[in-house]
Each structure stands twice: as C-alpha cells, then as structure tokens.
Amino acid sequence: MSVLERIQHQDLDAIRVGRFNLGVNTSFIVYRLGETVIDTGPSNQWRFVKSFIAEKSLEQLLITHHHEDHAGNIGRISQMTGVTPLAPELSLKKLREGYPTPLMQKLVWGSPGKAAAKSLPDDIFLGSGEQVDAIFAPGHAKDMTCYLLPERGWLFSADLYIANHLKMLRADEDVNTLLKSILKVLDYDFELIFCPHRGIVKEGKKKLREKYDYIINLAGDVQMMNQKGASVIEITDQLLGKESVISLISGYNFSKRNLVKSCLDVTL
C-alpha cells in the first residue's frame, strides 16, 4: 500500500499511510506543524514516512504513547535527523527496550520501534514559540498523552477519540480509566481534534462528549444485563453483535467481549 492521503490544514501538513486500506483502524496519520512532528507512523510504512520527514527540517518529535503505530519509526527518524524524541515518562522503557506485540498488530503495523527518548519537559513549545500542553490521558494505554495547542483550540488526541462509538477493545485497555481521561480532556477548551486514525474532526469537543455518553450508556446496559444473569457472550451478542473476523484473528485480544468485560467495572 502506498501513501493513502496528504492532508493540509492552515500551516499543518500530514500524511496518512497504511499497509491495508480497511478503514481508519488500519491506517495512520503523521502530523507536522512547522519543525515539530507528532508520532512517527508504523515501521512497515517507513519508506513513505521517510520521504515525508525529509521534506522539511525537523527540530522536535513528540510521541503520544509507545504503541507500534505511533512510535514504529521512532528510532529511524531519530537516526535520520539527529533529533532526540520526547515522550511520556511511562513510555521511555518500552521505547528503549521494545516489547512483544500480538501477531495481528505486527501484520497491520510492523514491529515496534526503539530509541532512547527523553521525558517530556514541563514546558513544550513549537518552533514559533507557541505553547503546547501535554495532557496525560491513560486508558487506551497506560502512558497515553494528548497534546493541546490552547491558542488555537487544537487537540492532538492520540487514541482517545477515533470514533463516537466504541465497539471493540484491546485486552490491555481499561474503560473506567478511559472515561476519566475523557472527562479530564473535556475540561480543556478545544474545537478541532487531530486524530491519527480518524483525521481532522470538527466540533471535536462535542464529538468527544458524545463518545463519553455512549460508553456510559453502554456500561449501564451491560451491567443491567449482567445483574439479570446474562453471560459476557450473551451481553456482547445482544448489545454489540457477533464478534468480527478481526476478533478471531487476534485470538480475541481485540474484541467486543473485552469491551463488555471492561464495562462491568465502570463506576456509574
């Protein structure tokens, strides 16, 4: 698969890449603002990301979390440009040492990248001097962090948003923590979401609130059915439908039933 899309919005440019063109979850957008790049894209798309990075001088590389689609090219970009990546403190060990990944994720994204990144500083700025706020937002990953440009109302949301309706969940994700992170981010002022999978989302704050409300309602339905004696599989089939082929291929590491299980622990 080649470059799927070039994106421009004001002074921002971006590239969407992916081995498969099977929806937003199988492609990734690398965003660039001036001399700052946010996340690196997957390692199996390096030849396209490399050309994108080479177009302009790079002074700052910000990582949202360690997952292989977000940091798969971290070592290559660092070696190519001489720039030391900046990442959340909780990301550093996995970025330095690597980590095992399920077969399906390797198929879609390739192997994780490795680099000696530095922890995010207290104050982050673009090359223009514009302030960047790092917002710790775990749930999807323990180290996940969003980046907000408060002067513009732009939120680089990592994997906090992706879609209004959450349908599947990785085994290592936690819905209760995710909901707390969404509420935390909703306390900030922003209008546009820059999602590395969905793309640029208008009315971003409204859309993120809709996702929160959807998950809360889903958790309520899950817990009600559970109290009536329904099993996880029965709840899944009724509320979310049968598992997809992706669930089967992943060995249910990424599945609807994981979402149902995690909803059972949500505090309502």
Residue 223 lies inside a defined structural domain of this protein: no
Q: What is the pTM of this model?
A: 0.95
Which CATH number is 106's domain given? Answer: 3.60.15.10
Residue 226 lies inside a defined structural domain of this protein: no
Output the DSSP codes for 179-225: HHHHHHHHTS--SEEEETTTEEETTHHHHHHHHHHHHHHHHHHHHHH
Asked whether the predicted pLDDT for residue 205 surpasses 80, the reply is yes
Pairing of strands 199-201, 192-195: antiparallel
Query: Tens digits of per-residue pLDDT, 120-179?
Result: 999 999 999 999 999 999 999 999 999 999 999 999 999 999 999 999 999 999 999 999
What is the total count of domains within the chain? 1
Residue 248: pLDDT band (50, 70, 90) is confident
Distance CA 101, CA 21 (A): 21
Task: Please list, residue by residue across 172-196, b when 16 or more beta carbons sit within 10 angstroms of its beta carbon and e when fewer do.
Answer: ebbbbbbbebbeebeeeebebbbbb
Residue 106 lies inside a defined structural domain of this protein: yes
Residue 229 lies inside a defined structural domain of this protein: no
95 closest CA partner among 121, 128, 124, 73: 73
Residue 119: pLDDT band (50, 70, 90) is very high
Range of the domain at 28: 5-212
Q: Which pLDDT score, from 0 to 100, does residue 25 have?
A: 81
Of the chain, the percentage scoring pLDDT greater than 90 comes to 90
Tokens found for residue 92: 């550093």
Distance CA 129, CA 230 (A): 55
Q: DSSP secondary-structure letter at 121?
A: P
Residue 243 lies inside a defined structural domain of this protein: no
Residue 47 lies inside a defined structural domain of this protein: yes
Q: Are 148 and 154 in contact (CB under 8 A)?
A: yes
Q: CA 150 → CA 130, 252, 259, distances in Å? A: 9, 39, 32
Q: Which pLDDT score, from 0 to 100, does residue 75 have?
A: 98
Distance CA 219, CA 131 (A): 37
Asked whether the predicted pLDDT for residue 184 surpasses 80, the reply is yes
Residue 199: pLDDT band (50, 70, 90) is very high
Query: Tens digits of per-residue pLDDT, 19-70?
Result: 987 777 889 999 999 999 999 999 999 999 999 999 999 999 999 999 999 9
Residue 239 lies inside a defined structural domain of this protein: no
pLDDT (average), residues 250-264: 95
Residue 259 lies inside a defined structural domain of this protein: no
Q: Which pLDDT score, from 0 to 100, does residue 2 have?
A: 57
Task: Please list, residue by residue across 241-257, b when 16 or more beta carbons sit within 10 angstroms of its beta carbon and e when fewer do.
Answer: eebeebbeebeebbbbb
| Lookup result for tokens 């790049």 | 37
Asked whether the predicted pLDDT for residue 1 surpasses 60, the reply is no
Pairing of strands 154-156, 145-149: antiparallel
